[in-house]
Chain A
Amino acid sequence: GAVVSQHPSRVICKSGTSVKIECRSLDFQATTMFWYRQFPKKSLMLMATSNEGSKATYEQGVEKDKFLINHASLTLSTLTVTSAHPEDSSFYICSAGTGTGYGYTFGSGTRLTVV
């Protein structure tokens, strides 16, 4: 079946630094990628939708200059948290789809801790 690899699974960084999270579709072409953020015991909050070759569409309240999303190829999308602060600490999850509107596969998530 479709597999999405998300890396790293855990990362600890210092305040003010940037962190890049990668999401790769291993055996299919991911035309669409969704990036989510999840707080403890809460649901997944959609941050942005990215389509290969296009600029990401950010949800209201999500700072696009802080959460940089790049979807330069059909198998790779990255989320960069710039100038990270402790409040950015969260679980970040990507989801990839073929763009047909059906069938999305999730990555295993990245636990970001900013100290």
Chain B
Amino acid sequence: GESVGLHLPTLSVQEGDNSIINCAYSNSASDYFIWYKQESGKGPQFIIDIRSNMDKRQGQRVTVLLNKTVKHLSLQIAATQPGDSAVYFCAEHNNDMRFGAGTRLTVKP
């Protein structure tokens, strides 16, 4: 069936560097995409979202890029901080909301 998936299960970066987390999706009908951050034992926390009629959206230190041609989504975190260490999920919405496998981001001091 159609699904959302992530390319890399883990990512380790140096504090201050930029991080890029990728996500591939296969449902071309999805109209909305969201990035979530999850810390251990907690529910997902909204980071940023993007609608399918956009290809880029920026927030504070975060940018989401959407490439519908190749069904790819990415999350860029600028000047990564230790507090950014968590598992990051992308989710796609098409009447329901489904999650990718997740990427664990570790920020080294």
Measured CB to CB, the residues of A under 8 A from B are: 6, 34, 36, 42-46, 49, 57, 91, 93, 95, 101-109, 111
A105 to B47, CA, bound (A): 11
Residue contacts A-B, CB under 8 angstroms, 26 given: A34-B96, A34-B97, A36-B99, A42-B102, A43-B89, A43-B102, A44-B44, A44-B89, A44-B99, A46-B97, A46-B98, A46-B99, A49-B96, A91-B41, A93-B44, A101-B31, A101-B93, A102-B49, A102-B51, A102-B93, A105-B46, A106-B45, A106-B46, A107-B43, A108-B42, A109-B42
**Which bracket fits the contact residues of B?**
20 to 34
Within 8 A of A (CB), among B57-109: 89, 93, 95-102
Residue numbers of B with Cβ under 8 A of A are 31-32, 34, 36, 41-46, 49, 51, 89, 93, 95-102
A102 close to B32 (CB less than 8 A): yes
Task: Give CA–CA (A84, B41) in the complex, Å.
Answer: 21
CA distance A91 to B39 in the complex (A): 13
